[in-house]
Structure formats: C-alpha cells, structure tokens
Chain A
C-alpha cells in the first residue's frame, strides 16, 4: 500500500512565524504535490514537484515555497504565516504511467494561524 505521511495533524502558529510542513512517501513516486482545502473552494494546488530539486507553481503559490532535497520528501514552507493561510493542507504523491495517474493523499495537516 502507498503510504504518505505528514509531520503534524494539527498545528497552531502565530502571524509572522515561519512554518514548515513536511511530507514523506514510501513508494518511490516521482511526483509530489501540496494542496490546501477550504470549505466551498475545494482542493487547490499550491506547488508540485516531478523530481528532486525540481518545483513548479500550482494555482495558488503566493505566500508559499517548497523544497525537495530527497525523492521521498517534499516540504511546504510558509515564510511569514498569515491568518488567511489557516486551512487544511494535504500532500499527495503519484507515479505517472501510460495508463494511470492516480494521486495518493496523506492524512492532512490542519493549520491555524492566530
């Protein structure tokens, strides 16, 4: 079974703090993704990576950065947390084959910025 783990289930931070969210997958997947999920807005892609040290902006990258130093690990960084970044953050990984493109999600981190 694919396993995607995230460093924290719940996190409370203050405005202006630097926040690190970590994600690890154990299936040797090439691709990793960070989403945020908000009521009424669904899942929105923040950043993704197709290889080590490679990153691409998703649909809402402002206020975030990422790091992928190892294939299995993908980190999301909030340089200076703001209250509008309070959300559920979900990491996912996938392997693209000719016939499938299935993403597997971690358990999520509920971040509250006060």
Chain B
C-alpha cells in the first residue's frame, strides 16, 4: 500500500462546477496535510494546509480532513480554466526523528470551458 494515494485522473470538470479531489494516507499518526498545485512545466505551489479534522476554507478552495478514515480532500468551487493543473497531496511524517513530507503522485484536473 502506498503511503499517500491519489487517483491519477485525468479528472474533467465543466467550468463553474465543483471539482473534488481525494487523497488517502496510510500512517495513522500523520498530523499535517497539504495540497499543492502544479502547472505543467512548473514547480509545485502550496495552496492549502490543514491540521485538524473538519473543513478549512480559503476563497474558492476548501480542504477537508477526516483522520478516522484517513482521507483528505480538496474542493474547488466555481472551477475556472486556470485551475487546470495537477494537484499533489502531501502528508507530514516523522521518520527516525526527522520530519518529512510524503507526496502522492497527483491528480490531473482539466476544467472544460
């Protein structure tokens, strides 16, 4: 089982609709979770972080965390063509006292005008 799993997509969503991206993780003691957006040919850009169960909203983006079920999701409301990108889920882990991030392989999102 991969430490962080995402559906690779592609996920196609009409402009103006809600895009829903999901991520599951295997380490129950993980505490911090992140969503990065990566445009083609560019580096990942942090868009959301979440540390507690429940929802966290930032503009059109909402991150949802359910530690009991070990999943974290990202909702994008009123999707725009500029949201077309690959979205990477990342989970903080502690390895022999060192803290690191483990990334999923990403979900490619396409917003259809």
A101 in contact with B92 (CB, 8 Å): yes
Most buried by A among B44, B45, B106: B44
A42 in contact with B32 (CB, 8 Å): no
A105 in contact with B106 (CB, 8 Å): no
Q: Which residues of B (70-88) have their CB < 8 Å from a CB of A?
A: 88
Which chain A residues have a beta carbon within 8 Å of chain B's beta carbons? 33, 40-43, 45, 48, 50, 56, 58, 90, 96, 99-108
A43 in contact with B43 (CB, 8 Å): no
B88 in contact with A42 (CB, 8 Å): yes
B51 in contact with A99 (CB, 8 Å): yes
> Known interface pairs A42-B88, A107-B43. Does A101 touch B99 (Cβ–Cβ under 8 Å)?
yes
Interface string of B85-113 (1 = CB under 8 A from A): 00010101000001111011110000000
> Known interface pairs A99-B51, A100-B32, A108-B43. Does A42 touch B104 (Cβ–Cβ under 8 Å)?
yes
Which chain B residues have a beta carbon within 8 Å of chain A's beta carbons? 8, 32, 34, 42-46, 49, 51, 88, 90, 92, 98-101, 103-106
Contact of A104 among B46, B92, B99 (CB under 8 A): B46
> Known interface pairs A40-B105, A42-B104, A43-B88. Does A103 touch B42 (Cβ–Cβ under 8 Å)?
no
Smallest CB separation, A90 vs chain B (Å): 6
Contact of A42 among B49, B99, B103 (CB under 8 A): B103
7 contacts between A and B (CB under 8 A): A48-B98, A96-B99, A100-B32, A100-B51, A101-B101, A103-B101, A105-B44
Instruction: Give the CA-CA distance A104 to B36 in the complex, in Å.
Output: 10
B98 in contact with A50 (CB, 8 Å): yes
Contacts of B51 in A (CB 8 A): 99-100
Contacts of B46 in A (CB 8 A): 102-104
Contacts of A101 in B (CB 8 A): 32, 92, 99, 101
Contacts of A58 in B (CB 8 A): 100
